[in-house]
Structure formats: structure tokens, C-alpha cells
Chains A and B, each alone.
Chain A
């Protein structure tokens, strides 16, 4: 480190170029627009190969599918940005969904049930957050254990039987439309916008990025890093909760299958492909949402092309490794 690098020469912004594009370029972070590029490529390729792909109904159904994954990916993104990882999202989501569904089955009001579906994952997320930030435990292990506990509990509590026959007032509302737009899609769009704003424009967002980039600098500069990390995990719990509501309504049932381990691969793949760095400090909500769409598209394509489930696994595993490796190499 004995040679000093010269400061980058960055030209003045030409009037015609919008602030957004200019910032994207000068921040030198091409991963900002790579996911969009990838999305376009995947989109084009798919539409070429699948005849009815471009129909509106198909597009909508893809987006609805992607909505649950997008919500979870956004939650995961926040945790990744803070420098951690959350492997327990499927399990806590399933547990929340199951308790809420059980409540409805016993005749409880759907509104309270939805609340239960939110609160339980949040509490579990807080346990994760507490263990990581205040007990100094390793995020990977804590959330891995939490996943085991919650997915196991889900099985225990339901005896492997899924809970269905949920009240129409619940499933109908969530799967209905508001002004012609399906509720799940609307939810994702709204949440993505809100989270994106918080991440990029609020002081909490700055604290989050600082903590994930260099926690020591953050602490010296007065950032309450421990609180930030705690909240990040609580937030991913919240996202798992929202997903629980939407997914339960979509499937019209809640089952331990919702919380199976394999789901986490899709979540991390979505975040990573979308541009969220697994090393912390980089990424946005939009990244996660776009990544989720890409992963769902890939899943669908594999499905339709009759690619074996296993080859899909291999490909997804390879994608994760490649994306993360590129990220790692770029950041050294």
C-alpha cells in the first residue's frame, strides 16, 4: 500500500444526462444496472422461446409468483446489507402462517390472524437479531439453528398436515384486486418503494450501509450499530410475516412445506443476482425485487423446458457461486 492512487478524474455532468444515470455511472458501481440488463436479457430470451409468455395474464401470474419471493428477498437484502445473513426466513414464515391459519380455523377473525402472521415472525426475527448483535453469535449459525427449530416446530404443530379451508374473507381480500391491480403485486410495489426510500434517503439507511461496510468506523462515528443490526433482523422477520399472509392466501392453506430449507437458496439467489452483496454494505430493495423476478423467470423456464429439478438446483447453485465470486473479486 505504499503507492498512492491518483484521484479519479470525473467529468462534469452534461446537462442532458439525468441525475440518476449520472450517479449510476460516476458511482462506478456497474452492478447498479447489471441486474436490469440481466432482467431484460432473460425476459427477451424467455419470450422468444415460450409462445404465450407475453400475454398479460401470464405476466401477471409471474409477478404474483414473484411477489412472495420478492418480499423475502427484500428482507434478506436488508440483513445482507448490514453485514449478516438470515437463513431462517422460510421457517419463521411457515410458523407464522401456520399459527395464523390455525387461529382462523378455530374461528378467529382474519384480521387478527393476519396480525398473528406478522407478529410471530417479527418476534422470531428479534431473537435472531438479539443473538447476533448483543450475544455476539455468528449470524449464519444462529439463523441456521432458528431455521431448524422453526421448520421442525412447524411440522410438530401441524403433524405434517396442511391447514386449509380458510375463510373466504381472508383469501378473497388478499388475492383480490385494488383498482385492477392484484393485491400481492401492489403490496410488493408499495413496500419496495418505501424500503428503497428508507434505504437510500433516510438516516437509518445510511447507518445500515455504514454498519455493513465497516462496523468499526460506524461505531467510532457514533452509529448505534448494535441497534441497527437488531432492527435489520427484526425487519427480515417482518418481511417473512408479510410473505406468510400473501402466500397463505395464494395457496389457500398453510403447511410446513412452506418452510422447507430449499427455499432459502431462492431467496439468497434472488438477492445476489439482483446485486445485493453478500459481503455487506451494498444493495437496494429494487435490486432484490428485480432479482426475485429473474429467479422466478428462470424457475418457470426450467419448468417449461422440462429441465430436471436437479439440473435446476445445479444451475442455481452455480449462479450463486458465480455472482458472489464476481462480487468478491471486484471488491478486493
Chain B
């Protein structure tokens, strides 16, 4: 790569386009819908868009860590469901306090993350298959516990999810706050930095002193924890836990991440503004579809298409890994004695 003369500033056009390219996409989308539907730009629209996206922001921010290590976790939707189900059941049957329930839910999420991490890191099962299995298992356990029935929150709590301060929803504020905190963890803690390092290359990270196994494990735990947290927001908004709560969330979360510039190949991307942009884009597209009167069934179709396109862009972007030759001990050639010389 051509070295620019000693750079004093941090700016690089290439990087900028990578990260913010999708900003242009979202602007284009907004413009399109503004033309197509009349009251698109009303304040209420914008905020209801954000309300829908709030739980996903939280879930995606945890999932991001796993993806940045070049792994994947598609059980997050089921984790959100199961942990919330446990919490909701405890509240309605055992009447525990809301605060205790919150703590338990988050802990449960983390615990499920521990299971995922164990299967992937210790048993060395491909993360895709492992979390495919746990996605199923968690959903099943949750359905079993709730007997496939809706578990409503007591009236006192049902309102919390939709508290507004003026036009601003509390949920949204919380999700943005969470994004900021996770961003801080990602950019300002060893854990966050080492997660990125692993995505750059497991061998290299190991060589540089990163405890790859532990950090990867931690990423899965973190993802589970965030899924639990996101599940709380989700449940509060609906006011109940339903048998289909959280289904498809992993898909949406991945879409958010990929649109926002987090590469599925690992080591690339940001929490802020990445996830924020990705989330807004997705939410805008869907709200827009709604306003244009598209049938509900179009959504998965469009989402799939958007993901496909983002994948495509992602794959194009991906650096071609240079052929790094590492000399291992048994590759070192030792000249042997010539047969004649003895």
C-alpha cells in the first residue's frame, strides 16, 4: 500500500467511505420515502421508528462482539425470549420485585451465553451450528415453561414500556444509553480491543499475547447478556412475553450490524455510529414500507434482500488476506550431510 507522507491527522478517505458509506444509503432511503408517503417526516414517525428498534439496538450491540471475533450467535432471539419468560413468570407467579427480576433476566442471558461459549470454545463446534442448536433448545425450554401461552406483566409494569417524556420514549433513551456504554466498552477496554484483534487473526492475536479462548468465550457471554437486556426492553414494550417473542431477532440484528459496517469476517466495524446507522436504516425501511401500504409479508422478503446486498458489499470489501508465511519449527530446513562426504 502506498504510504502517504507521514500522516499527522487521523483522516483517511478509504476508511471514511467504508464506515459511512451506508449513511448515503439511509439518506437515499429517507428521501425516497419522503417523496412516496406524505406524513413520513412527522416527529411521531421518527420516534416510533426508534421505539421499534430499541430492543434490537441492545441485542445487536452484544452480538457485534461475537461477530467481530469472526464467530456468530444466532440464538440471541431465543435468549431474549427465554430470559424474559423466566423473569415474567417469576414476577407473575412468585411476585418478586421488578428489580430482582431484571437482574435475574440479565444473569440468565449471560448464563445462556456461557453455554454457547462453552460449546464453541471448549467443544470446538462451529458457532453457526452450535447456536443453531441452542436457538432451538432455548426456544423449546421457554415454550415448555410458559406452556406456549402468553405471560402478561402485571398492570403496574405494563405501562413502563411506553413511558414517554414528551415525544421521547424512555425505551429509546435507555437503548441509546446502552449503545454508548457498549461503545465505550468496545473502544476503551482491553476486552473490546482484544475482540477486534481476534477478528484480525487468531494466530496473530495469540502471538501478541491475547488470551484468545477467554476473550472469545467472554464475547459469547456478553452477547447473551445483551440479549437478555434487549429482551427486557422488548417485553416491556409489548407488556407480555408471547410464544413468538424474539423470533427472527437474530436475523434483524445481523442485518443491522452488516448494514452498519460490521463485517461478518471479523475485525471490522463500530458500535457507534455503526449499529445506530444500521438500525435506523432498517427501521426506516420497514416503517417506510408500512406507510407505503406494503403487505406485512413483504418485510422478510425485503429484509432478506437488504441483507443479501449488504453481504455482497461486505464480501467485496473484504481484504484479500496476504499470504503470510510463518516459519514453524518443522519448516526450517537443515542441510544434511552429503552422502559422499559422509
Q: Is A308 in the interface zone, CB < 8 Å from B?
A: yes
Q: For residue B146, give the distance in angstroms from its CB to the closest CB of chain A.
A: 9
Query: How far, in whole Å, are A85 and B128 apart by their CA atoms in the complex?
Result: 10
Q: Does A12 contact B (CB under 8 A)?
A: no
Taking a contact as CB atoms under 8 Å apart, the answer to whether B129 and A148 are in contact is no
Do B129 and A324 have beta carbons less than 8 Å apart?
A: yes
| Given A320-B129, A328-B123: A310 touches B143 (CB 8 Å cut-off) | yes
Cβ contacts under 8 Å, A152 to chain B: 297-304
- Asked if residues A328 and B311 are in contact (CB atoms below 8 Å), the reply is no
Number of interface residues of B (CB under 8 A): 45
B169 CB within 8 Å of chain A: no
State whether the Cβ of B133 lies closer than 8 Å to any Cβ in chain A: yes
Residues in B with CB closer than 8 Å to A144 are 251, 307
Main secondary structure of the interface of A (DSSP, over half): helix
Residue of A nearest to B147 (CB): A308
**Cβ–Cβ contact A160 & B297, under 8 A:** yes
Verify A328–B125 contact, CB threshold 8 A.
yes
Chain A minimum-CB-distance residue to B308:
A145
| A268–B312 CB distance below 8 A | no
Size bracket, chain A contacts: 35 or more
Asked if A155 and B297 make an inter-chain contact with CB atoms under 8 angstroms apart, the answer reads yes
Question: Could you tell me if A321 and B139 are in contact, using CB atoms closer than 8 angstroms?
Answer: no
Q: Which residue of chain A has the shortest Cβ distance to B250 in the bound complex?
A: A144
Within 8 A of A (CB), among B302-320: 302-305, 307-308, 311-312, 315, 318
Interface residue from B130, B304, B330 paired with A146 (Cβ < 8 Å): B304
Q: Which residues of B contact A1 (CB under 8 A)?
A: 328, 330
Min Cβ gap B121→A in Å is 11
Among B132, B301, B307, which residue has its beta carbon within 8 angstroms of that of A141? B307
In this complex, what residue of B is CB-closest to A156?
Answer: B297
A60 at the interface (CB under 8 A from B): no
**Chain B interface (Cβ < 8 Å from any Cβ of A):** 72, 119, 123-126, 128-130, 132-137, 139-144, 148, 251, 254, 264-265, 295, 297-305, 307-308, 311-312, 315, 318, 328-330
Some 23 contacts from A to B, beta carbons below 8 A apart, are A2-B330, A135-B312, A135-B315, A136-B315, A136-B318, A145-B305, A148-B303, A148-B304, A149-B301, A149-B308, A155-B300, A268-B129, A278-B126, A310-B139, A312-B140, A314-B136, A314-B137, A317-B133, A318-B133, A318-B137, A321-B119, A324-B129, A325-B123
Given A146-B308, A148-B301, 12 extra CB contacts under 8 A: A131-B312, A141-B254, A148-B251, A149-B301, A149-B305, A152-B301, A268-B132, A278-B129, A318-B133, A321-B129, A325-B119, A325-B125
